[in-house]
C-alpha cells in the first residue's frame, strides 16, 4: 500500500557504476582510506588507486555497501574504516578467509539503502531456480511495492545484472591476470549457473561456511532479542535461511556445533524450537573469536 512505501532517496541504484567487486578492490580501497581518508575526493584518485575513473566510484560504493567504511552524509565526505572494517584490515586484509567474505556478503544483502537489488534477491525472492528475466521481473515488482517515486528501470535491471555477476562466475570468459574481473564473492557458492540463462540457489558447503559465520548472521538478525525460533531463523528476512540459503537439516547441524561450543542454547519442544544466544555476545565479538582461533 502507498502509505507503507518509502521515498526513492532511501534507495541507491547503480552506485556500483556497473561493476561487481573485483579481486583486490576491497583491500586496495581500505588501505588507501587508512592512508588518506579523503582519497576518493582527490582529482587524481584514479591514479592513486591504479584504476579507471568509473572504478573509483565503484570501489567507494562497495566499501560502504559492504560495511567496511563509512562517510558522513553531509560536509566533506571523507571515509573511515568501520569497526568491522578495521578488524578485517588487522586480521585478514587480503580477504583470504571465506569468513571475511561472508561478512562482506551479509552486509551487502542487508543494506536496503545502498544495495536494494541485492537485498531483494536474497530476502524477497523465493524461487530456487530462475532465469535472469524472471528474476528481474520479480525483483522489479517487489521494488515498485517499496517506493512511490520515479526511478530508472534501466538502472534497476543493470543492478540485477551486476548482482548475478557478484555471485556467479562466467566460465566462458577467463579473466586475464591484469583484469581481475571475477568477484571474490563467487567463492561462496551461493548460486549455480546451469545453462546460458538458467540459475539456481545453492547452499555453501560445510567446508566453506564456518559455524561462526552462521552465528554472526544469527546475532546480527536477532537485534537484541533474547531468543529466536528455528522457523524465524529459516524464513525471516536477513537471517540465515534467506541470506545463506540454509535448510533445516544444515541449520540444526550448525546449531548443535555452536551449542557444544557454549555459544548458544537450543530448547527443542513439541511444535516450538527456540534458540537462546549466550548473553553479551555480539557479531563483532564472534568475528574477533574467529580471527583469534
At residue 202, the pLDDT reads 97
Task: For the full predicted model, state whether its pTM sits above 0.85.
Answer: yes
pLDDT band at 272 (very low <50, low <70, confident <90, very high): confident
Strands (E) located in the chain? 69-70, 80-81, 129-130, 191-195, 198-201, 227-229, 264-269, 272-277
Q: Which grid cell sits at 214? A: 552462521
Q: Which residues pair with 191 in a beta bridge?
A: 201
Among the listed residues 215, 234, 233, the one whose alpha carbon sits nearest the alpha carbon of residue 285: 215
- 90: Cβ contacts below 8 Å, ≥ 6 apart: none
The pLDDT assigned to 271 comes to 73
Higher pLDDT, 291 or 272: 291
Q: How confident is the model at residue 148 (pLDDT cuts 50, 70, 90)?
A: confident
Amino acid at each position: 500500500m502507498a502509505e507503507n512505501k518509502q521515498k526513492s532517496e532511501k534507495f541507491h541504484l547503480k552506485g556500483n557504476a556497473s561493476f561487481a567487486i573485483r579481486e583486490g578492490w576491497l583491500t586496495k580501497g581500505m588501505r588507501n582510506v587508512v592512508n588518506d581518508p579523503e582519497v576518493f575526493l582527490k582529482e587524481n584518485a584514479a591514479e592513486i588507486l591504479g584504476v579507471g575513473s568509473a572504478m573509483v566510484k565503484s570501489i567507494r560504493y562497495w566499501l560502504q555497501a559492504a560495511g567496511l567504511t563509512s562517510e558522513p552524509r553531509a560536509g566533506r565526505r571523507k571515509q573511515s574504516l568501520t569497526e568491522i572494517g578495521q578488524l578485517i584490515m588487522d586480521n585478514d586484509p587480503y580477504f583470504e578467509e571465506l569468513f571475511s567474505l561472508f561478512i562482506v556478503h551479509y552486509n551487502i544483502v542487508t543494506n536496503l539503502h545502498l544495495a536494494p537489488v541485492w537485498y531483494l534477491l536474497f530476502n524477497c525472492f523465493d524461487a530456487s531456480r530462475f532465469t535472469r528475466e524472471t528474476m528481474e521481473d520479480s525483483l522489479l515488482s517487489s521494488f515498485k511495492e517499496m517506493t512511490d517515486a520515479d526511478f530508472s528501470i534501466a538502472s534497476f535491471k543493470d543492478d540485477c545484472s551486476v548482482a548475478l555477476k557478484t555471485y556467479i562466475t562466467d566460465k566462458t570468459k577467463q579473466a586475464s591476470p591484469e583484469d581481475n574481473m571475477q568477484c571474490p564473492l563467487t567463492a561462496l557458492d551461493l548460486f549455480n549457473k546451469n545453462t546460458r540463462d538458467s540459475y539456481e540457489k545453492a547452499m555453501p558447503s560445510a567446508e566453506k561456511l564456518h559455524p561462526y559465520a552462521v552465528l554472526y548472521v544469527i546475532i546480527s538478525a536477532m537485534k537484541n532479542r533474547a531468543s529466536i525460533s528455528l522457523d524465524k531463523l529459516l524464513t525471516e528476512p536477513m537471517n540465515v535461511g534467506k541470506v545463506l540459503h540454509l535448510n533445516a537439516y544444515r541449520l540444526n547441524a550448525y546449531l548443535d556445533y555452536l551449542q557444544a561450543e557454549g555459544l548458544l542454547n537450543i530448547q527443542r519442544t513439541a511444535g516450538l524450537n527456540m534458540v537462546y544466544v549466550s548473553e553479551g555476545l555480539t557479531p563483532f565479538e564472534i568475528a574477533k573469536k574467529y580471527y583469534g582461533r
